Amino acid sequence: MPIKDYDKPAEIALIEACRMGGGLQISTELPTEGTAENTIRAGLIRELWLGTEDCKPPAQGLHIWGAWIYEYLSLMGEAVPVSLLLYNCTLAEDINLQDCTLPGLYLTDTQLPALRAQRLRCSGSLHLRAGFEASGPVDLNGANITEQLVFTGGKFLAEGVALTCYAITVGVDVLLLNGFEAQGEVNLAGAKIAGQLNCTGGKFWAEPEALNCSGMNVGANVLLLSGFEARGAVDLGRAEIAGDLKMPGAKLAKRLIASGMRVRDGFFWRGVQGHGITVELIDAQVGTLNDPPGSWDPVKKLHLFCFRYDRIESKMDVQERLDWLAKHDATVSRFTPAPYVQLANVLRRQGFAGEAAQVLIRREDKQRAAE
């Protein structure tokens, strides 16, 4: 449909704004219904975003504030020349950006039913933040984002899987910070993130699995700090983290799965809240284990078989460290000496020969009792 046939007041104003090289501000409030003054059909946004012979999109991107956008917005497979920036907008139907190429996408304080963007290629940043709300699934599987991927303050309300970023590639950081909330599972399995993954203050409500980061590769830190809360399991199995894994103040209701995880620097397990948590560190490897006295009290079941760490930074005494190993012993069906040998070797290297000897004596006592 030619742009001259879009004749609603807001549509005419948007066309004129584009021709002048600017954006359109209808309102600073999120519309709850469509009116003659705020309604823009999705077909016009598609035409202006791609550009027409008589109306090129502004070089700084297509900016719209306070619009009610109806009809299905699809740019599947298209190469879009500029970014789209929607503020305080309501979309009545889904957005489809599958196999689309674009410079950037910024949806702030904007509501929509669902976003389908599998294999999207974005040469800038992608923001679904600060009041963004999706009632259905957001699918970024296989997408490639050159800069930041920001979900801070966004709400993802779909049941089942609310936000899926399987095998996504991100050139900088992935942020699910304060105000982020997901009712369904968040899937980052197989993600490749060059910067940090920061979930500080994020709320992950799904059960049985809340956050799936299995097999992901992160070039900096993974931060699950104060205010982070997960009702279901957090899965870091086989994840590779080039910096630290920091969890001070995190709240876990069920389980941390970290079997096969690799953390090059520190694993900070301190101030974690919960009751009766299960922690699986089977065949995990970290640089420094940072766990102050009392930090393992919320854990009921602990799997330490083949858990390796190069050093310990902790004021925990040897008796509490033996109690830590006893949690593992109580979890597994048969005695495994490897966790005792690992601890003794690290203590000895760090100059605590007496404590290392106590650990090995306890190992021998338990091994004899198990025979």
Between helix 353-370 and helix 338-349 the angle, nearest 10°, is 170
Quote the pLDDT of residue 54: 84
Which range marks the domain in which residue 91 is found?
1-95
180: tokens are 């982020």
Centroid of chain to Cα 272: 19
In this structure, the answer to whether residues 210 and 259 fall within a common structural domain is yes
**Domain boundary residue among 95, 124, 141?**
95
In this structure, the answer to whether residues 185 and 230 fall within a common structural domain is yes
In this structure, the answer to whether residues 168 and 265 fall within a common structural domain is yes
In this structure, the answer to whether residues 27 and 120 fall within a common structural domain is no
Question: For residue 278, is it within any domain?
Answer: yes
Question: For residue 346, is it within any domain?
Answer: no
> What's the number of domains the chain is made of?
2
List pLDDT tens digits, range 248-274: 999 999 999 999 999 999 999 999 999
Which CA distances in Å does 280 have to 39, 225, 234, 284? 52, 19, 11, 9
Tokens 């040897």 belong to which residue?
318
Question: For residue 248, is it within any domain?
Answer: yes
pLDDT at 204 exceeding the cut of 90: yes
The model carries a pTM of: 0.95
H helices present in the chain, as ranges: 9-19, 42-50, 318-331, 338-349, 353-370
Q: What are phi and psi of 114, to 5 degrees?
A: -160, 155
13: tokens are 């104003």
In this structure, the answer to whether residues 128 and 254 fall within a common structural domain is yes
Question: For residue 366, is it within any domain?
Answer: no
Question: For residue 90, is it within any domain?
Answer: yes
In this structure, the answer to whether residues 127 and 160 fall within a common structural domain is yes
**Domain boundary residue among 267, 292, 316?**
316
In this structure, the answer to whether residues 53 and 195 fall within a common structural domain is no
List pLDDT tens digits, range 176-199: 998 999 999 999 999 999 999 999
Burial class (CB in 10 A: 0-12, 13-18, 19+), 11: buried
The sheet with strand 203-204 has its strands ordered as 39-41, 68-70, 90-91, 111-112, 133-134, 155-156, 181-182, 203-204, 229-230, 251-252
More confident residue, 2 or 140: 140
Question: For residue 15, is it within any domain?
Answer: yes
Chain mean pLDDT for the chain: 96
Quote the pLDDT of residue 181: 98
CA dihedral sign, ordered 320, 321, 324, 326: negative
In this structure, the answer to whether residues 181 and 305 fall within a common structural domain is yes
Question: For residue 103, is it within any domain?
Answer: no
In this structure, the answer to whether residues 131 and 85 fall within a common structural domain is no
In this structure, the answer to whether residues 177 and 77 fall within a common structural domain is no
pLDDT at 137 exceeding the cut of 90: yes
